[in-house]
């Protein structure tokens, strides 16, 4: 991907995501359908998913950008308490156990979190004046 294209796909700065901390919401166009999505950090890696429970078409976060349970171990669906592995998106408890979140192809590059597939179309910034898609 060329640098300008990379900048258009920038979700946020890497430093904005702390392990098991607040995630970053954004929207992505996948095949002409715009859907809510998010990225979080768990350990030293970032992970991106469509923001939709595997159980029902509901967003997961219990407050904007808050995806982890209180222990910071699992991603939590705030509606019916399904728990998801942050590394794989697999549901390990709750009404959708055995299903999984839909992963997104995200990567860290030069201090930024970049969406590699799908088109970044919008954002819902919560804690930063920095807006996804800003030139870097």
77 near ligand FES, judged by CB under 6 A: yes
Q: Could you give the CA distance from residue 25 to residue 51 in angstroms, rounded to a whole number?
A: 8
79 near ligand FES, judged by CB under 6 A: yes
82 near ligand FES, judged by CB under 6 A: yes
Q: Could you give the CA distance from residue 60 to residue 80 in angstroms, rounded to a whole number?
A: 9
Closest CB to ligand FES among residues 15, 56: 56
Residue where the block lists tokens 């990567």: 107
106 near ligand FES, judged by CB under 6 A: no
Question: In angstroms, how far is CA 16 from the centroid of its own chain?
Answer: 13
| Interaction site with ligand FES (CB under 6 A) | 53, 55-56, 58, 77, 79-80, 82, 94-96
């Amino acid at each position: 991907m060329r640098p300008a294209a990379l900048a258009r796909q920038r979700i946020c700065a890497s430093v904005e995501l702390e392990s098991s901390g607040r995630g970053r919401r954004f929207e992505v166009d996948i095949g002409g359908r715009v859907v809510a999505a998010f990225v979080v950090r768990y350990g030293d890696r970032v992970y991106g998913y469509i923001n939709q429970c595997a159980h029902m078409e509901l967003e997961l976060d219990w407050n904007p950008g808050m995806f982890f349970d209180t222990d910071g171990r699992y991603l939590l669906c705030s509606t019916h308490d399904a728990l998801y592995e942050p590394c794989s998106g697999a549901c390990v408890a709750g009404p959708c156990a055995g299903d999984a979140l839909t992963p997104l192809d995200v990567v860290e590059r030069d201090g930024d979190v970049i969406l590699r597939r799908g088109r970044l179309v919008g954002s819902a910034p919560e804690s930063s004046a920095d807006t996804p898609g800003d030139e870097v």
